[in-house]
A and B are shown apart, each in its own frame.
Chain A
Amino acid sequence: MIVPAVSAARPVSMPTTIDKAGSSSASSNNFVNGLENVQASLDNADKLAGQLATGQLTDVHTYMAAATKAELAVQMTVAIRDRAVEAYQEIMRMQV
């Protein structure tokens, strides 16, 4: 009873593991792109802070929203980093 279940699961799981191994550079590219977006939102918040200080920005809320966005983006990056490190450590602890 167990054997057919495993063999039924295998065709599904096998291609996905191959895909993941093949696309590891693609997913790290995605991550780098994401980091660039985070950097862009931080830069935007910095730029707006400068404009606000020099009186070029008329809307205070524009800066506050940009700063909130940058903060959230950084928090999201940290969350993803934590998850990745956690998974890596879990694998490193594996007894072979």
Chain B
Amino acid sequence: MAMFGALDAATSGLTVSRVWLDAISDNVSNINTVRSTKDQPFRARMVIVSAIQRGEGEAGGARVEAIKDRPGDANIVYDPTHPLADENGNVQNANVDLSVEMTNMIIANRSYQANLRMVEIATDTYRSALQIGKR
């Protein structure tokens, strides 16, 4: 319903932040995932967000377009005692940067909070509109 457009947009922002937090959590939990050099390394998940077209009866907002793997060179380390090591003694560490993930975690957390605040403010605003002309 476009009547509560601010609520719709803020809810879509909440969903985006939640999906982002999920992805960050997945990345952080897999920071120690080691794979054989024959396989693909674990790559950090990145959430691609796009705007919802604003228009007649549509409040806009954001939605998750896709979840993609972070590109970049594999993080190959020499560890000959590792069970997954190849003939040269190499394994692949996860392609996750913990400092980046921690920063993103704070941003995602703040983004969720901001959208929650938006919901609160929008509800208050709509409710105060009902007070017009009250005796």
Binding site for B on A (CB under 8 A): 37, 41, 58-59, 61-62, 64-65, 68-69, 72-73, 75-76, 79, 83
Contact = CB atoms under 8 A, between A and B. Distances in A.
Contacts of B123: 68, 72
Contacts of A69: 1, 4, 7
B34 interface: no
B18 A37 contact: no
Interface of B: 1, 3-4, 7-8, 10-11, 14-15, 18, 116, 119, 123, 126-127, 130, 133
Given A65-B11, A72-B123, 4 more contacts: A61-B11, A65-B119, A73-B3, A83-B133
6 contacts: A58-B18, A59-B15, A64-B119, A75-B130, A76-B130, A79-B130
A34 to B, nearest CB: 10
Contacts, number: 40
B127 A75 contact: yes
A7 B44 CA distance: 77
Of all A-B residue pairs in the complex, the 3 with the closest CB atoms, nearest first, are A65-B11, A61-B14, A79-B130
Contacts of B10: 65
Contact of B1 (A37, A58, A64, A79): A37
Contacts of A79: 130
Nearest to A61: B14
A72 B4 CA distance: 9
Contacts of A62: 11, 14-15
Given A68-B119, A69-B1, A61 B127 contact: no
B109 to A, nearest CB: 14
Contacts of B133: 83
Nearest to A72: B126
A76 B1 CA distance: 14
A61 B15 contact: yes
